[in-house]
Amino acid sequence: MNYFKLLISLILLLLVISCEEEAELPTAQSDPIISINSLIGVDSLIKVNLSKSVGSPVEIQYISDATITAYKNDKELGEFIYRENGTYELPEQYLASESEYQITITHPNFKKVTTQTIAPKKVLINDIKLLNDVSEGKTTFKLKFTDDASQSNYYMLLVKGISNNYSNVIEYYSNDIVFEGNLNVNDNGFEQNMLRGSRSFSDENFESSQVEISFYILNDDFFVDYQEYKIELYHLNEDYFNYERSFVSLENKGDLPFSNKTNLYSNVEGAFGIFTSYALDYKIVSKQ
């Protein structure tokens, strides 16, 4: 959809006779609020990062003296231990799929907050095929997996380029309907604009439980000569899906004038941040 361009042109027409002024930012009107960051993979060590909201973007203030208690399926797992840079770990505890985890954070300067997540089950990649079309300058991947149709599922697909034992998340594109146009290579229309670049998708557009997704990378996009590609299929819970989408939309929205204000998604009441989980399966394919 390109009507956004025209609407923006009209707004710009108005703005021609307008002007923009710069002023000092007013100080934040509320006390600092605790911010929780935790995206935990199944079979990974359970970690939480704590910081607090601040007025200036350059001064991150980590919280090192909070008490975090973890529960698994309503049974206490123990207290987290502080490591460094706001990160707390639950020693010897690895996230088990299909289990419910809850954490409670207490701190003398903040009100007590509680949040939880249910770890999803790993969804296996059944097959991945790669086709390098030199004439079009793109490498196409076809990924197959099985979706559990009995429940709502959320996924995320990442492509990493591997070179000299170093991997890096790389851009990919797709016209597949599951991405709802968010990864179209040249489309910057209004509908896609806010979620442009989002790599998450839901099972809403799946035609059957046997899913095949086609996506591609442009060979000229990279300065590094990647020898292998790592295709990661994340099975997400709904909180992760919402968080990824709000993260992307906040980035895309930027300073768009007259837009409705939105915030980063949070599943923690009375605080900022996210405490959620995923299960990952991946395949490595060599460059052709």
Partner 1 sequence: MVKFIFTFSLLLCFLSAYCQNVNLQQEISLPKSRYQLSELLEEITSQTKAQFSFTSELNTNKRVQLSDSVSSIRDILNQSINLKNFKIQARGGKIFIVSIPPYDRKYRISGYISDAKSGEVLINATVANLSNFTGTVSNNFGFYSLSLKNKTHLLQFSFVGYKEVLLDIELERDTTINISLQPITMLQEVKVTADERANNINHLFVSTNSFQAKNMQQTGVFGENDLFQNLRHLPGVQNSNEGLGGLNIRNGSPDQNLILLDDVPVYYSSHLMGLYSVFNQDALNQVKLVKGGFPAHYGGRVSSVLDIRMKDGNTKKLEGGYSLGLLTAKFNLNGPIKKDKTTFNLSIRRTYLDLLINGILDLSGSDVNAGYYFGDLNWKIVHRFSQRDKLYFSTYWGGDLASVKSSENISTNIREKVRYKLGWGNFTNSLRWNHVYNDHLFGNTTLILSRYTFLLKEKRSQKANDSDYMENYIHEFKSGIRDFSFKTEFDFIPDYKHYLKFGVEASLHHTKPGSDFLKNTRDNNPGISTDELIKSKELNLYGEAQIRFGKKLLLNMGTRWSSFIVDNTYYSTIEPRLNLQYFLTPKWSFTSSFSQMTQYLHLVRTSTLSLPTDLWFPVTRKIKPIDSFQYTTGTHYSFNESVKLNIEFYHKLSRNLLDLKGTSYFQDVSSDWENMVESGKGWSKGLEVELSKSLGKTNGNIAYTLSQSKVRFKGINNSKAYASPYDRRHNFSIQVNQFISNKTKFSAFWTYGTGLPATLSTSNITAISPYDPSSFETKTVYTERNSYRLPDYHRLDLSISFMKKKKHGTRSWDISIYNFYNRKNTSFMYVSTDNSTSTDPKLKKINLFSFIPSVSYSYKF
Query: Is 246 a binder of partner 1 (CB under 8 A)?
Result: yes
Cβ(279)–Cβ(41) under 8 Å? Answer: yes
Cβ proximity to partner 1, 6 vs 224, nearer residue: 6
Cβ proximity to partner 1, 38 vs 139, nearer residue: 38
Residue 261 Cβ vs partner 1, minimum distance, rounded to whole Å:
4
Query: Is 156 a binder of partner 1 (CB under 8 A)?
Result: yes
41-80: contacts with partner 1 (CB under 8 A): 41, 49, 51, 53-58, 60
Residue 16 Cβ vs partner 1, minimum distance, rounded to whole Å:
10
Rounded CA-CA distance 180/248 in Å is 14
Burial (CB count <10 Å: 0-12, 13-18, 19+), residue 182: buried
110-139: contacts with partner 1 (CB under 8 A): none
Residue 288 Cβ vs partner 1, minimum distance, rounded to whole Å:
25
Rounded CA-CA distance 120/233 in Å is 13
Query: Is 177 a binder of partner 1 (CB under 8 A)?
Result: no
Cβ proximity to partner 1, 218 vs 250, nearer residue: 250
Rounded CA-CA distance 197/284 in Å is 22
188-227: contacts with partner 1 (CB under 8 A): 191, 194-195, 199-200
The CA-atom distances, in angstroms, between 40 and each of 87, 149, 162, 246 are: 13, 24, 23, 18
Closest CA to 232 of 149, 274, 153, 170: 170
